[in-house]
Amino acid sequence: MIRILLIEDNPGDARLVEKYLLESEAAEFIVEHVDRLGLGLQRIDSEGFDVVLTDLNLPDSVGLETFEAIHAHARELPVVILSGYEDEDAAFDAVRAGAQDYVVKGSLKPEYLARTIRYAIARHKQLLAGLIERSEESAHADRQPQPSPDPSVPLILIIEARAEDRELAERSVAGRGLRSIHAGTGVEGLERARAERPSLILLDLELPDMGGDDVLRQLKGDGATSAIPVVITSAFTSPRSTQELRDSGAAACISKPIDVQGLRETVDSLVH
């Protein structure tokens, strides 16, 4: 059984999390709930937990400081952040600071919540064993698995050259029981698609070495990758070009600037 310390001051959110964990297929969780950071730290000292699931905004602590206090108190414990839509920036900062992942309260589903927790524990064990290195510059990228200890976790390949657009795409899929890896060129994207066999590919049309439409054609022409859904992202799509891309095999086309909620709904419809 996996012992979870849930730190959440909203009774409704806490009940929902506990309900979803009990509804997961494996039903392998024991949850202890407290509503204050201070109480949580006391429980960590007296009980043996496998993972901490915490809101960042609590009566006695707010924002990133909540994660930092838990992390400083018990570095051996993996931490998953519970975030509202309005708190996603702080949740993402916590991931960059060492949290294993975050889940968005408004998007909770039993199986991907359970999967996220299982994966957070497995990845944290790898980190403690020194199997994965984390650097200040690439902490948010290095948190992605190579390879995954749990093949049931869907993998998203983001082929995008612009760092800010790549990070936005990462934010869009984070907290949804998904993993992501990225490639900055078409050639690298094709190589990673063949090697990793992702569940979904987010493909920008404007790449430094080749057009995204060429990448799409090669993906769909290769038996190893032809069945992978591809979502095109571009600032330069017209109804005609969108139809041409769909005719070439694209599952969907999304215009930039990316609408995060729209991208999430598209990804959910193609992956979950």
What pLDDT does 203 receive?
96
Residues 118 and 183 in one domain: no
| pLDDT for the residue 135 | 40
Structure tokens at 110: 């039993």
Domain count, the chain: 2
Same domain, 30 and 68: yes
CATH code of the domain containing 193 = 3.40.50.2300
The answer to whether residue 136 is domain-embedded is: no
What local confidence, expressed as pLDDT, does residue 25 receive?
A: 64
Please say if the pLDDT value at position 1 is more than 50.
yes
Nearest to 149 by CA among 179, 191, 193, 188: 179
Domain that holds residue 241: 154-271
Confidence at residue 264, expressed as pLDDT on a 0 to 100 scale: 86
Q: Evaluate if residue 219 carries a pLDDT over 90.
A: yes
Q: How far is CA 106 from CA 22, 84, 127, 175, 197, in A?
A: 18, 7, 29, 10, 29
The two tokens of residue 251 are 């599952």
104 and 172 co-located in one domain: no
- My answer on whether 118 and 38 are in the same domain is yes
The span from the CA of 204 to the CA of 193, in Å, is: 14
178 and 124 in a single domain? The answer is no
141-173: per-residue pLDDT in tens?
Answer: 444 444 444 567 889 999 998 777 888 788 777
High-pLDDT (> 70) share of the chain, %:
88
Same domain, 118 and 165: no
End-of-domain residue from the set 87, 110, 128: 128
- Residue-level pLDDT at 3: 92
For residue 268, give Cα distances in angstroms to 112, 148, 178, 264. 11, 20, 10, 6
Domain match, 13 and 124 both: yes
- The terminus-to-terminus CA distance of the chain in angstroms comes to 25
Q: What pLDDT is recorded for position 170?
A: 84
Longest dimension (CA), the chain: 63
Q: Which residue has the higher pLDDT, 233 or 147?
A: 233
At a CB cut-off of 8 Å and minimum separation 6, what does 178 contact?
112, 153, 154, 155, 156, 267, 271
**pLDDT confidence of 110, banded at 50, 70, 90?**
confident
Q: What is 136-188 written as a DSSP string?
A: STTHHHHTS-SS-S-TTS-EEEEE-S-HHHHHHHHHHHTTSS-EEEEESSHHH
- Mean pLDDT of all residues in the chain? 83
3-state secondary structure labels for all residues of 12-45: HHHHHHHHHHHHCCCCCEEEEEECCHHHHHHHHH
Element (H, E) at 90: helix 88-97
Read off the amino acid at residue 109.
K
Tell me the average pLDDT across 186-195. Answer: 94
Helix (H) or strand (E) holding 190: helix 186-196
Unique residue bearing structure tokens 């950071």: 37
Q: What is the pLDDT of residue 95?
A: 81
Does residue 254 sit in helix, strand or coil? Answer: strand
Does residue 81 sit in the same domain as residue 170?
no
Q: What is the mean pLDDT of residues 99-113?
A: 79
Is the preceding omega at residue 149 within 30 degrees of 0, hence cis? no
Upper half-sphere CA count for residue 244 (Cβ side, 13 Å) = 10
Name the token pair of 153. Answer: 């976790």
CA distances from 272 to 153, 230, 262, 263 (A): 10, 15, 15, 14
Q: Is residue 90 part of a domain?
A: yes
Q: Which of 94, 128, 162 is the last residue of a domain?
A: 128
Q: What is the pLDDT of residue 102?
A: 82
